[in-house]
Amino acid sequence: MQISSDLEKVLKRHGSAISLDGEKAMRWAIAVSLFCLAVWAASQPPAPSGEAVAPEGRLEPLPPVPKLPPYVVAIARLRLRESTLRVDPMSDFNLIQNVAERTGWEHLYRQRVVVSLDNDDIFRFPIVIFVSEHQPMNLTLAEQERLRRYLRGGGFLFVSECSAKLRLRPALRPELQALLPEAKLKPIPLDHPIYRVPYRIDKIVPARRGGKTFHEGMELNGRLVLVYSQNAEECSWQSWRWTGPMCACLPPDFEYAFRFGINLVYYALTH
């Protein structure tokens, strides 16, 4: 918007009706300029909040799950009906790259794989990541049963919640507990193997907004099958090599977040 041009037009429009001396003309010009600035500012898009959110869009069909050799392992990300992978869309991909670079594992599939609960593709992957995406899971009975069979059959689910949306927290925990009624969602002790290999983690670094100094988990037969984090490690994964603003939850630093993520993958593949 060309404020000076608009000001000139306004003054011309009112020039025949209003006689302005020097002081009055200056006040009038200032008032009109402020008005034009307010109109221009209101027309601009809001400043980014720092959350890594991709544009809205319809839920597109998932690409076919790749047919991998039996010796190749892939990390999958879970997409639900409500989810369009909009929140932290690169978090799982960046974790995969860090796992590959830091461990040198040659048999790790280095591309993203996305699964849903509409079919049994999830059973082909030993570890699945679900980013809560600021919504409850709202699983149907069929989806809940398929995910339950996956966990009871040896699968591993990491659920990460971005604490920028604290209203989600009361709804998500009961949904997770309902997946495995025979197990209890409870804090994971710091001496658990998941915090020991390949990196030793002696302290859980919380998100600075709504974070916790612990993770929670559910065990079956002495094995963790589900880990629930309220510390938004996936927001740190998303922000790796990202020059834009950090997420509003103020997640933990990159080094800690990736060490924890690599430990998750290692545990899922070895237990």
Q: For 91-123, what is each residue's pLDDT tens digit?
A: 899 999 999 999 999 999 999 899 999 999 999
> 138 in the Ramachandran plot: left (φ > 0), alpha (ψ -120 to 50) or beta?
left
Residues 103, 109: contact at Cβ < 8 Å?
A: no
Residue 51 host element (H or E): none
Average pLDDT over residues 6-25: 42
* Average pLDDT taken over every residue of the chain: 79
- Same-domain check for residues 28 and 124: no
CATH number at residue 216: 3.40.50.12140
In a domain, 66, yes or no: no
Rounded CA separation 45/47 (Å): 7
Q: Which tokens in the block code for residue 270?
A: 């070895």
- Same-domain check for residues 21 and 112: no
> Would you list the DSSP string of 240-271?
TT--SPPPTT-PPPHHHHHHHHHHHHHHHHH-
Q: Which tokens in the block code for residue 19?
A: 């006689």
More confident residue, 88 or 74: 74
- Same-domain check for residues 30 and 160: no
- Same-domain check for residues 158 and 233: yes
pLDDT at 232: 83
∠ Cα 206 158 216 (to 5°) = 50
- Same-domain check for residues 18 and 102: no
pLDDT at 88: 75
- Same-domain check for residues 130 and 244: yes
Report whether pLDDT(187) > 60: yes
- Same-domain check for residues 156 and 110: yes
Q: Which tokens in the block code for residue 158?
A: 């990491």
Report whether pLDDT(59) > 70: no
In a domain, 64, yes or no: no
pLDDT at 75: 96
- 254-270 vs 91-103: helix crossing angle, rounded to 10: 80
Rounded CA separation 122/128 (Å): 8
Residues 238, 90: contact at Cβ < 8 Å?
A: yes
Rounded CA separation 131/128 (Å): 10
What digits encode the pLDDT tens for the residues 208-262? Answer: 777 889 999 999 999 999 999 988 888 888 876 655 556 656 677 889 999 999 9
In a domain, 63, yes or no: no
In a domain, 61, yes or no: no
Residue of 256, 258, 196 whose CA lies nearest to 224: 196
In a domain, 28, yes or no: yes
The number of folded domains in the chain is: 2
- Same-domain check for residues 199 and 85: yes
- Same-domain check for residues 15 and 133: no
- Same-domain check for residues 161 and 239: yes
**What is the residue range of 233's domain?**
75-270
3-state secondary structure of 73: strand
pLDDT at 198: 96
- Same-domain check for residues 112 and 13: no
In a domain, 232, yes or no: yes
Give how far Cα 235 sits from Cα of 163, 167, 209, Å.
10, 18, 12
In a domain, 56, yes or no: no
- Same-domain check for residues 94 and 19: no
Rounded CA separation 169/159 (Å): 12
Quickly tell me which residue has 């639900």 as its tokens: 80
Query: Half-sphere exposure of residue 206, counting CA atoms within 13 Å on the CB side?
Result: 12
In a domain, 52, yes or no: no
Strands 156-160 and 127-131: parallel
pLDDT at 83: 58
Residues 219, 225: contact at Cβ < 8 Å?
A: yes
